[in-house]
Structure 1
Amino acid sequence: MAARDLESLVFLVAPHLIISQFPSAAWAMAHSGVAEEAARLLGAYDHHTSMPECFGFHQNRPEAEAEIRRRAGDEGRAVLDERSYEHAYARAAASPSRRPPR
């Protein structure tokens, strides 16, 4: 119960802290062969960071963030065919970044 309350609090107070981790997580997942999940993470990340309410917070330097994002996408595309990658990416980009409550 406490973990769920904390999760809700993080999304309320500092959603960028969660979203900023998506490229690194996507890179790790793509490198591990879980490219569909990597594509979904990148789709959600790109969607969220393009929205006006994005705070502009960057955990890493912009150059490092762009490089992590690029590598995650490249590795995901190397594992999945382009159609599957784009489908997973688009589905995540069209949905909210926050999971619904349990």
Structure 2
Amino acid sequence: MLAVRPSYKVNDNLRLEATASYGHEEGDEGYWGRSGDALESDIFNAEIAVAFTVNADYFGRPQIKPYISYISADDKASASQIGIEDATSETIVGVHAEIWF
């Protein structure tokens, strides 16, 4: 897996993030119950997010982060392994909330 996540601090309470990742996985017949096209997967993900926090450095928490994520697999068998049904790609809109000390 290879991923990059550039981040831009707008002010003390707002940060913009982008993430791009690529993953490749191979397994032998029967690997986690897989067969056929599901034995080898190439997965791509691109995401943009706006992080609202009390401290906008990379590790600032608590944080609320609305995001849009696009994920794509090389075939339907690989897509089904990551929860995408009846297609090879999916766009997800969500909110990630996090608090830790």
TM-score range (shorter-chain normalised) is under 0.3
Task: Please identify the structure whose Cα radius of gyration is greater.
Answer: 2
Return the structure number with greater relative CO, CA threshold 8 A, min gap 6. 1
Instruction: Give the TM-score normalised by structure 2.
Output: 0.27
TM-score, normalised on structure 1? Answer: 0.27
